[in-house]
Every structure is written in C-alpha cells, then in structure tokens.
Structure 1
Amino acid sequence: MSIILETKSIKKSFVSGQRTITILNGLNIEIRKGEMVAIMGVSGSGKSTLLHILGLLSEPDEGEIYFLDSKITYKNENKLAFIRNRYIGFVFQFYSLIGELNVVQNIMLPSMINNKPDKKKALELLELVGLGTEKKDKYPSTLSGGELQRVAIARALMVSPALVIADEPTANLDKAASIDIVKTMREINHSTNQTFIIATHSEDVANMCDRILFLSGGLLHEKN
C-alpha cells in the first residue's frame, strides 16, 4: 500500500505560565492508503493536537509532513486551505452540522465550497452511510445522535478525499450506536478503500481498526 501521509520528527509544545509543556515529542508516523488507524491516549495526551497537525489545521514547531508525496509548507494558507478542502474530510465529536440546512444540503457543503454542488452524489452517500434517502429533507434537530454522525461522515466523503480524520466520532453516542457507526466506517473502508484516522477512547472502536497507536508522554507506541 502506498503511503499517503508521513510525519518526520514532529514536535509541538505549549507554554503554560513559566513552563513549556511538550505535547508531541518527535513523532514519526506513516499512514498507508486504505488503512483504518486508531489513535488512543488519555485525555490531555495530545490526540486532538496531533489530529490538527495531521489534518493540516495547525503547524508543528519542528519536523516535516508529507501528504500525497508532497512536503507541506505553511507559508501559503490559500494552498493549505485548498488541500484541506479537496483531499481531507473531517468528522467531529459534536457533528458540526448547520441547523438551517437539511440533510442533503449539509452533505453537499464541501462540494458547494468548491463550487461543484453535486446532489446526486450526496444522495448516494446518504445511502452509503446507512441512511435512506427519505431522510434527505430532514433537519438536524429531528435526527438522533447516530443519524447526525452518519450525515457528518457522508459530508466528509463528499469530495472523495484521500483521507478522513475523525476526532472522537462516537464520544457522544451510547455503546451500541458507537459500534454501529464504526462498523459503517469499516464497511466504507472495505468497499471504497477509504483511508481513516480515528481518535478514540474506546477500545471497542480501536479494535475494529487495522492499527492502534497509543499517544503517551509525547510519544506514540503501536499496539502489536
């Protein structure tokens, strides 16, 4: 499998009062096309910080990132925004849907940002994530947590991204709904070869992935 995302010795620190706290301390990561990778760690270990860097939302203090065989530079924010909008899909813990838009409009948002709205594809994705097209005209306020997250996953897939990054996508769901959501992601991974990185506290979620990376003390350890 080809490597689509690679980090070399990335570091990230924060200043708290008179102390400098190192969150990421020289991480080397390879994510291959078609993988579903879990990142675990206790609260405050730096999982979200790492995902922000992997998603090109923030810059490491040191180190290099290569995405789709190109070294990422941070001098041109417009270029970075283009890469994020075109090649990376994001799924968040709190869904981040727009309440004034219906389901199909929320799914279409990334393609609308790219000036290529595609309702047909949005409806196909609605089916792919396990929601029938009868939900297309519903509004977020009428959906369950599991349904909201399925819409969010469909939205993340709208531009056929090279990578989907999911930050605690099941944290607001009960255990049964969490397993259903990750099963759906796994089915999408198998059927489309979609690459996923998932930050999670749940061992049940992590065990459904190809690899598990533990973040602790600024370092990553892979579970054998």
Structure 2
Amino acid sequence: MDISAEKLKRVRLRHNLSQELLAKQSGLSLRTIQRLESEGGGSAETLHALCATLNISAEQLQQHSTPLQARWQRTTIISRLLIFILLFTALLSLMGKASATSLASYLDLMSLVILLGFLTLSTLACFGVNGLIKAISGLKYLASSQLYQHAASRDLTRLYQYIYKNCYVAAAIGSVIGLVSLLELFATTGNVNQFFYGLHVLSILWLYAAIIAELLLRPLIYKLTEASE
C-alpha cells in the first residue's frame, strides 16, 4: 500500500498526536512513523493499523497516482497557438525596426543552444530523466482549457518553478561568460564599436529566457497552481 507521507503527517497533526504517541497507539515503531512521514510507502498491515488508530478510511492516507487530467477544446488550442505566433511575430518586428543591422544578428542560435542546454542539464541533475520527460510532456497542458484538481499538479508546479528560475540563471551565466570574452577581445583590439555590438547581441540570451519563462512556464505554473488548490 502506498501511504502518502504528506497526508499521514497532516492527519496526525489534526489529531494533535506526536510521532511517539501515534507509534505507541498504533503498535508501530517510532522509526516506522518517521520513515512513513518522510518517504511514504508502507505495507497493508501498517496502513490498517494507522487507519484504526486515527479512525479514518484507507483512502484518506493513500497516495493516488492518477495522471493529471485536462479538458481539451480545439478552439482553445488553436487560439493559444495563434496568440503565441502573433506575440513572437510582433517581437521579431520590433527587433527588426529597432536595429540598423540585419535581423539574423539577433537570432543567435548559439544563445538558444546555451539556454536550452543549461535547462536540460540542470533538470536532469535534479530530477533525472523522468523529470525531464515530465517537463517536456507537461507543456501540452498550456493549451488545455481546464485542469482537474489533483496532487500530481503540485509536483509538476514545483518542477516548472525550478526551470523558470533557471531560465534567468542561465541567461545571467551566459551573459557573464560573454562579457568576459568581450572584455578580453576589447583589450586586444581596442575596437569600441565591436564591444558594444557584442553587448547588443548578448541581450538575445535574455530575450530567449523571457520568452520561455514568461510565455510558456509562467502560464503553466499559474494554471497548475490553480488546479492544485
């Protein structure tokens, strides 16, 4: 039986029981109670002992693993996609008008590779392959019209909050590395125009970070937070 660590702790506190007292009344060891509240899990006998002691049903302690569900509507998906395309087109248009140089200089592919590479590696390091897969597959909920309340949305929210922060961390790290390179180049050549042009190009890293964080992740985090409350 998969006992929810969060639910067990919440029910224990609701009954004004310490871990020691709950262990004594249920006939379980204190170590078992501590492990259940930190890791979850447990056998059927443990679940029944806790339910009998706390006078609750098994469902009130079990961890449900049903996938997050969403209501999909074709009009919603199409409208969200069109909005994103219009926003991205508007950004490109503004960038083209604001610059005397070619638009290609702004669309620095290496900046996008650096940003996505950092996000991928940091997510893998903290959440593993399953976390990375969840982060990618969870993007589909951006086009959903409604998410159903479920505990799974809380886990996905924490994952996206971590990636959201890392978008700007990656932009900051990339900017520092680029600035150091520009300073070394300026010290060698003394070309002021090239230096300021390089600073101009570095801003594209922040633009990519803002697009991913604010246009993709922030709406997802908001929607998932609403579903988990």
| Range class of TM-score, shorter chain | under 0.3
Which of 1 and 2 has higher RCO (CA within 8 Å, sep 6+)?
A: 1
TM-score by length of 2: 0.22
TM-score by length of 1: 0.22
Find the structure with the greater CA-based Rg.
2
Higher strand share: 1
